[in-house]
Structure 1
Amino acid sequence: MSNRLEKAREWARVRHALQRYGAQPYRCHLDHVERIAAPFGEQACIVAQLHDILEDTATRVDEISALFGPTVARAVMLVTDPRRPSREERKRALNQRLIALDPSDEAAWLALVVKTCDRLANVIASSEHSPPRFQQYQREHGGFRIAVYRPGLCDHLWRELDGLIDAGQQADRHPDHQLHASIS
């Protein structure tokens, strides 16, 4: 592991110290996203560790740039939800930004990869621990896919993500699931 990646981990842990991801410390989510991003290289792992830092902390883009370089800073900025009053408005604005990205640009490529890794980590966690959040990801999946998917870019992650969403939708339609849901 490089010093840059270790520095990103430590910096993210300090910045997100009081934040939780469900019942776990927030670092568990960041580490999960990093593990998914690992095949895409060190820069992707660094962005994975920092991907929520602008949204959730008082960190500024110039701080990221000074510590990790302008490419990482721009990638983190690209995956950060714009400030809007509702989740629906934030996601719509973010999707508009992401759909315009050209993956031949390194920061854009990193943003698309890490955003996919983040969504996969969120879908996995919510499918296991938070059915309402999972249903939210199911509802958002079409718009998210249109904005982020690029043929040939992390197709194996998209197969897994689409499979989880499809399996959840099939379970929602299954009569036994509806019977169980009405009983519980």
Structure 2
Amino acid sequence: MNNRYLKARTLARSKHSGQYYGELPYYVHLEAVSRLATPFGTDAMIIAQLHDVMEDTETTVDELASDFGFLVADAVNYMTDGKLEDRAKRKAMINQRLASLDADEESARLALIVKACDRLANVRASKSSSERHYDMYKLEHASFKEAVYRKGLCEAIWWELDNLIDPMTEQ
């Protein structure tokens, strides 16, 4: 494995120590997102490991830039939800930010890919373990896809996600 990836994985596990994804240690979710991001390269895998670190911990964009460079730091920053308690308002804010990204910019492209991988990992997990979360993702799907989807960017991720949300969808 790449040293930068191992450093990101180690940092993410340390920062998320004591946090849980349902009943599992949080790193299980990070590993799932990272596996989905694998076809998109090492930077995508690093971003996948770090995608929640600014949102869920006191980690700053400057710390990430210092350790992993501006490409990774910018991508993680693009993906980071605000601190609003109201989920609908928080998701509307991030969807607006993600919709404005130019996929020709590398950090934006990677953020959009990893965000789709993150959502697929969440939908996969919730479909088998949390009907409440699965229903929430189904309700959010149209606005999420409108904000994040870019034609040709990560079609296989979107194909599976669309089919998990609506198995009758013909893609």
Which TM-score tier does this pair reach, normalised by the shorter chain? Answer: over 0.9
User: Aligned partners of 2:123 and 2:55: how far apart in 1?
Assistant: 19
Q: Distance in 1 between matches of 2:47 and 2:168?
A: 29
1:83 CA drift (Å): 2.0
Partner of 2:2: 2
Which position in structure 2 is the counterpart of 1:167? 167
In the alignment, what sits opposite 2:105? 105
Q: Which runs of no fewer than 5 residues in structure 2 stay unpaired? A: none
Report Cα offsets for 1:104-148 as digits up to 9, x if no partner. Answer: 000100100000000000000000100000000000000000000
Show the counterpart of 1:43: 43
Q: Which residue of 2 aligns with 1:91?
A: 91
SS at match of 2:166: helix
One-letter amino acid matched to 1:63: E
AA at the equivalent of 2:124: I
Amino acid at match of 1:132: R
Deviation string, structure 1 residues 50-103 (Cα, Å, up to 9, x no partner): 000011001111000000001100000000002223000000000000001111
What CA distance in whole angstroms lies between the structure 2 residues aligned with 1:5 and 1:96? Answer: 29
Show CA shifts across 1:152-179 (max 9, x none).
Answer: 010111000000000399xxxxxxxxxx
- Matched residue type, 2:26: Y
Secondary structure in 1 aligned to 2:81? coil
Greater gyration radius: 1
Moved over 3 A (4+): none
Matches within 5 A, 1:142-181: 142-167=142-167
Distance in structure 2 (CA, Å) of the matches to 1:82 and 1:55 = 7
What is the identity, as a one-letter code, of the residue corresponding to 2:52? D
Q: Could you tell me which residue of structure 1 aligns to residue 31 of structure 2?
A: 31
1-side partners of 2:24 and 2:167: how far apart?
Answer: 26
Note the aligned Cα RMSD (angstroms): 1.1
Q: How does 1:71-150 map to 2 (within 5 A)?
A: 71-150=71-150
1:174 matched to which residue of 2?
none
* Count of matched residue pairs: 169
3-state SS of paired residue (1:151) = coil
Please give the TM-score of this superposition, normalised by the length of structure 1.
Answer: 0.90
TM-score normalised by structure 2 residue count: 0.97
